[in-house]
Structure 1
Amino acid sequence: MQEFRETLSILKKDDDCKVVLLTSTGSSFCEGLELSMLLHTNKEERRMHAQEVADAVKDFIKSLASFNKPIVAGVQGAAVGLGVTMLPLFDLVIASDKATFSTPYGKLGQIAEGAAVFTLSHILGSAITSELLLGGRTLTASEALRAGLVTRVLWPDRFQVELLPTLKAMSEQSSQSMEATKALLRHSLRKKLDAALESETYLLMQHWCSVECQTAIKAYIDGKVQ
């Protein structure tokens, strides 16, 4: 997350950069946070690491929300946890037909990170958000498209072929116009997002430190929870 923030900081000032694409190769787009670093038997050590990760998530989400240029997610394969909850901060989300979207927070004994309760309900509405965060449902690409989480779905064998021309077409538009439009679109979101992140950071730390959450995370990592 720190490396991603540093990259965005560089691209923000680069006049040759018009549009940013975050995508992946392989079977997963993003499988969320590396949870193993949160597992500690010592309570103080657990609290220290939980605070560190919670702050990193907050800063990461803020950097996405404040990025001035169009930023596009190209989702191939599985998007899990933070890989889903960060998507509302992208301007376009283009997914492969084989992409899936899951938020297994109930299995992990924790709350969703990335200000998901606010951003997902803002985009998807309370019904789909509840299905994702409370019901633990995995959305297909077509379901995510209908819900509004995804902008466009491409066939897997045409994904890269069709994705890059879309970015090229965007990059040929006026940078000034795109940045001004994005600033207007995000103006009302930013203040509410900042408030949501502040309260969430404290709650995440508390949940990650709990014995129940530690047990659930370990079981999930060990493959006992499917």
Structure 2
Amino acid sequence: LAEKEVIRFSFEGTDWFWPKSLEEKQLAEIKELMEQYHQKYPLRPGFPKEELRSRLFSKWAVKAFNGILLYWEEQGQLATVAGGLRLPGFEVKPTAEEQRMIEEILARYEKELFQPPAWEEVVKFLGGKPEQRDELLYYLLGTQQLIKVTEGLYFHQEAVRRAKELARNIIKEEGALQLAAMRDALGSSRKYVLPLLEYFDQIKFTKRIGDQRVLFSG
């Protein structure tokens, strides 16, 4: 094929060639899909990358899929976000009403840093449609203003930051961290502290050894 009839893209030292007519057709389909997604979910940063792969590139090798995405990003056709893709120029921007709701939600979680309320308890007084409230949660988690510790349990980002700092200090002073010490330091209860410590293990901030925890060293 003539050079103008194919595109060449690479990833991790491997090259692929694709007929330009097929590439243009696929890109147009992806852009239409993303436009619909942005309109339906304006508070989500981008279309999930793995969903795109399963829907349109399931027969492609992972490296080839990553290669074509990189090619399109370099061409300015798409932009990558954490775990997803967006159209250039798209920006998550809450409406004035959504921003009011976000501020009320965060104020409630900030008020009860280490004994956070249930999400349903917080949002039932805000008004709005259930699907709108779901999108607000998606937005707050995506922007890491709220942190999902376990299913149904969310902490304000400041709570997690302060808890990590306290845990680090206790471990440095005592050599290890026990649940009771963390519970007392936070002025909370086992109901909240145990899932938080398990979350720290999960993100490799701490490592559990018996009934104690130390800082994760890799």
Shorter-chain-normalised TM-score: which range? Answer: under 0.3
- Greater helix fraction, Structure 1 or Structure 2: 1
Answer with 1 or 2: which has the greater Rg: 2
Q: Which has the higher contact order (CA 8 A, sep 6+)?
A: 1
Q: Normalized against structure 1, the TM-score is what?
A: 0.23
